[in-house]
Chains A and B, each alone.
Chain A
Amino acid sequence: MRTPLIEMRNIHKQFGGVVALDDVSVTLHRGEVVGLLGHNGAGKSTLIKILSGAYEADGGEILVDGAPVTIRSPRDARANGIETIYQTLALADNLDAVANVFLGREIVTSLGRLNDAAMEHATSDVLAKLKVVDLKSVRAPVSSLSGGQRQSIAIARAIHFQAQILIMDEPCAALGPQETAMVANVIQELKRQGLGIFLISHDLHDVFALADRLTVMKGGRVVGDCHTADVTQDDVLAMIITGRPPA
């Protein structure tokens, strides 16, 4: 068996008395899209927030390429090649696309000054690769952009910094059909390039179109893990609702 790109083992997380994750183990391989499914409150967001360093796990371990790593902060996650696109678009609306793409990892000159020209150049490059249409200016505050364009900025971050692992929490929740198609194209392209992608979505149709494997959660536990090709949407729906693998 190949070593998984990411392995999360026996992850446990509690918020006060609420057990959000109970002994959860998941894996992700290179060039693979894994769909994380489950009702609201199943623990999907909590799981990926632990992987992206937004929360710290109470127990369990995380392995990247087979080696155990410690992820205590978003900085740690990024250092391990993990990029996250959050459900609530985590952008500073008052800043422009350039500042958002490079937030926390700015290019600076040897004197420590922000090198805005270099960052603008790189941002334009990546956004052109993503074929972001109608972007008036990479220097306009991102609050003036459409949902899809804002999503592209989050994706541009991942691409520019050559992420190995991409986490997308409901990437299409706020998008129209065209923009959803754009995101789907990007996911397929990144997958071809060998990234591993965790995809969380409520839309079973989308997930079936994009994911190679499905991990179903319920009540903070993993209740099923199967290849997309081996199941029907009805099987998966039943799993989500009942929490039992298909007969």
Chain B
Amino acid sequence: MTQISIRRLAAATGIDTRLLAMAGALIVIALVFNSFTQGAFLSPRNLWNLAVQTSMVGILTTGMVLVIVTRNIDLSVGSVLGAIGMFAAVVQVQILPPDVWWNTPLTILCAVAVGITIGAFQGFWIAYRAVPSFIVTLAGLLIFRGVAWMMTEGRTIAPMEENFQLLGGGLRGSIGAFWSWFLGGLAIALVLFRIVASRRRRHRYGFAEKPLWGDLLTGGLWVGAISAFVLTMNAYNRPGTQIPQGIPIPVLLLIGTVLIMETIARTTRFGRYVFAFGGNPEAARLAGIDVRKLVLLVFVIMGILAAVAGILATARLNAGVNSTGTLAELSVIAAVVIGGTSLAGGAGSIAGAILGAVIMQSLENGMVLLGLPSAMQQVVIGSVLILAVWADVVYRRRVA
């Protein structure tokens, strides 16, 4: 009975039952931590921090979904982001003149260019030289960690320019109450517009229309979620003041990345080919798709995202540190897999991966609040990974 009604609900709103289940798991996790920490977990301050902490891994998961959907893996993202983060610090502090307006934009441009180059380099070996991605990116993990160290012989490079630091969401790195509401309002308008447009389109082509209450519910949920998010971000004041922080800039970067990557994955030929190739590489090839270029491009995108994550990490630390991003690949892959992306390829969702990243980060954040030793945290995270994938296997079997 409850099962049937949940399924009807899912069909009417167009929300994946898997996403619904993950959201449920997240709520349970949040409530449990909140009661054990006397309300500290769900305080605006902690949620604000949680959002900032999730942004780096979240940005990387959006690309890792495409990598894994095409039956590949990228073990190098942590090292690549470390190397690019260090490179950005070297460019900004040691090469470009300080205190000129174009220092930060040029630094970002250089970092992204390096990300594209590294992605193309790894993608070339995988797509055109048929070396398995596991090997190429395992080599990349070693190579780029080494490169991060060699750039400065292990020295830390600091400080970064002030406007660069904003990207990390530091002291002033959020947009305040007004702009948060402005963007929130824009997002709400966009969501409502898309629901209406989709109803019109289905009507025009004479397809079965979704029930009105389903669309209303979907719209209501979105409006509620966006408002709650903005309210929470605005509820946290800058330390020692009454000025609301608003949405942190790294979180805006994450949201922007998700929107762009979702658009690419769902509405472009490239995105369609990524999934087709993952489902049946031979069918994709026989359909006339240039599958090697496709795989190369997926790794180029991953390289760009690693650059963005590297910039964000360096900005947040206000320094280039050669160990930045160590083990990030594991958090990213875990988040993607928890989010329902199949390592067999062909199936995956960016929204799921982001939820996976939030779940992982919540667990980590909550355990830190509880003061669990880090060894214990690792045991918990590892166990959750196995449980989540097992739940996914069971889910798939029941759907099939």
A residues with CB within 8 A of B: 52-54, 73-75, 78, 84, 86, 88, 90-95, 99, 103-106, 108, 112-114, 117-118, 120-121
Chain B neighbourhood of A103, CB < 8 A: 272, 276, 283-284, 287, 289
CB contacts under 8 Å to A, within B184-220, are 201-202, 204-205, 207
CB within 8 Å for A99 and B288 given contacts A93-B279, A120-B207: no
> When the two chains form their complex, are residues A90 and B207 in contact, meaning their CB atoms are under 8 A apart?
no
Interface string of B94-125 (1 = CB under 8 A from A): 00000000000000000000000000000000
> When the two chains form their complex, are residues A106 and B283 in contact, meaning their CB atoms are under 8 A apart?
no
Please tell me if B168 contacts chain A, counting CB pairs below 8 Å: no
Chain A neighbourhood of B286, CB < 8 A: 52, 54, 74, 84, 86, 90
Chain B neighbourhood of A112, CB < 8 A: 268-269
Q: Give the A-B pair count, Cβ closer than 8 A.
A: 78
Known pairs A74-B287, A92-B275, A114-B272 / 17 extra A-B pairs, C-beta < 8 Å: A73-B288, A86-B286, A88-B282, A90-B286, A92-B283, A93-B279, A94-B347, A95-B275, A99-B275, A103-B276, A104-B289, A105-B288, A114-B268, A117-B202, A117-B207, A118-B205, A121-B205
Chain A neighbourhood of B267, CB < 8 A: 113-114
> When the two chains form their complex, are residues B288 and A104 in contact, meaning their CB atoms are under 8 A apart?
yes
Chain B interface residue count, Cβ-Cβ cutoff 8 angstroms: 26
Chain A neighbourhood of B282, CB < 8 A: 88, 90
> When the two chains form their complex, are residues B280 and A114 in contact, meaning their CB atoms are under 8 A apart?
no
Interface string of B247-276 (1 = CB under 8 A from A): 000000000000000000011110010011
B residues with CB within 8 A of A: 201-202, 204-205, 207, 266-269, 272, 275-280, 282-289, 346-347
Chain B neighbourhood of A105, CB < 8 A: 287-288
Give Cα distance in the complex from A114 to B264, angstroms.
10
> When the two chains form their complex, are residues B272 and A106 in contact, meaning their CB atoms are under 8 A apart?
yes
> When the two chains form their complex, are residues A120 and B205 in contact, meaning their CB atoms are under 8 A apart?
yes
Chain A neighbourhood of B278, CB < 8 A: 94
Cross-chain contact of B346 among A92, A104, A113 (Cβ < 8 A): A92
Cross-chain pairs A/B with CB under 8 angstroms, 18 sampled: A74-B285, A90-B283, A90-B286, A91-B283, A92-B283, A93-B279, A93-B346, A94-B346, A95-B275, A104-B289, A105-B287, A106-B269, A108-B269, A112-B269, A113-B267, A117-B202, A120-B207, A121-B205
